[in-house]
A and B are shown apart, each in its own frame.
Chain A
Amino acid sequence: MGLGEHAGYIIAGYLISFSVAGGGVVWSLAQGRRVQARLCELEARGIRRRSDKKKSGAAVADQEGKA
């Protein structure tokens, strides 16, 4: 498999493409993990969103109703 006299251009094109794509994937996944970790940290401190509080409140009321 010879790439001919312009091998440098071809290799550079593929290297840049896969570096940018790979960098984008790593960056996006790392950003997601960071946000997820921060959310877990807040939840561990007992901080909830209002809608989550309503849901857990409704669940407690439901359990009390059943009891």
Chain B
Amino acid sequence: MSVIKSKNKNLIYPGLNWFLIFFLLPLTVILIYAVTAHSLVPGEPLKFTFSNFAVIFQKKHYLIILLRSLKISFLTTIFSIIFSYPVAYFLAKRSRFDKVLIVVLMIPFWINYLIRTFAWKLILSENGVLNQFLLWLKVIDEPVRILYSQTSVLLGLIYMYTPMMVLPLYASLLRIDNSLVEASQDLGASRIRAFFDITFKLSLTGIFAGTLLVFIPALGSFAIPAILGGTDSVMIGNIIENQFSRVGNWNFGSAFTVALAVLSIALVLFYSKIFGLESIYKNRDSS
């Protein structure tokens, strides 16, 4: 019996080696770049330094961008929760066509996100659809400038990642047993109290899983601020791209990249400590 298992076990090696060589090794290489001061030359001893990381916190310019990226990603997450909660609730508790609607909701996710970003450029530009609409409604007298600002980046990110919040939220709401809510109401809780004490608390797993799926990609976004943003909305991703395609300081660029990676891995580990990684797989299954 165990012969089969041990033969099966050998099947992991092609994939595992690929993963080690082309995924983990490159990550190790940028980690080395991040803690050294020069480029890697075979045979030369490594000189370790933390100055690359120190620069991020010493130069005000970089610190501002780091904090701004965190702020924009945080706001994206908050808005995506607010926007998607009623929808997820409706789909899980009030709709009979929820399975179909979830599939429909995932369609834009499969359309290239540059195309969707482009759509927002059309909507937000000075003589774009939104301005025309507002002028027609007589809400404004002259076109407002929204494009190339932090607001337009935020609008783009919220649009892009809110469906990612709906999915896990819907899955967690679906699992809640309605009789729990009914029991709390029988015991005298108001509808609002029952919602916050039962439904909302039990949906927290979904909110946290969604936060991973929204916050991390938002923090690492680079195309959306590059297309929709201006000088006041440069994010970590744009700094990193700049370091590699123009400035050419690999050590500093790597330090920024490692900071981004560590931040996201820390979030994932923190999440798996509390809820277990299985809940991520399970939530993804429902998609």
Q: Do A and B come from one complex?
A: no
B residues with CB within 8 A of A: none
A residues with CB within 8 A of B: none
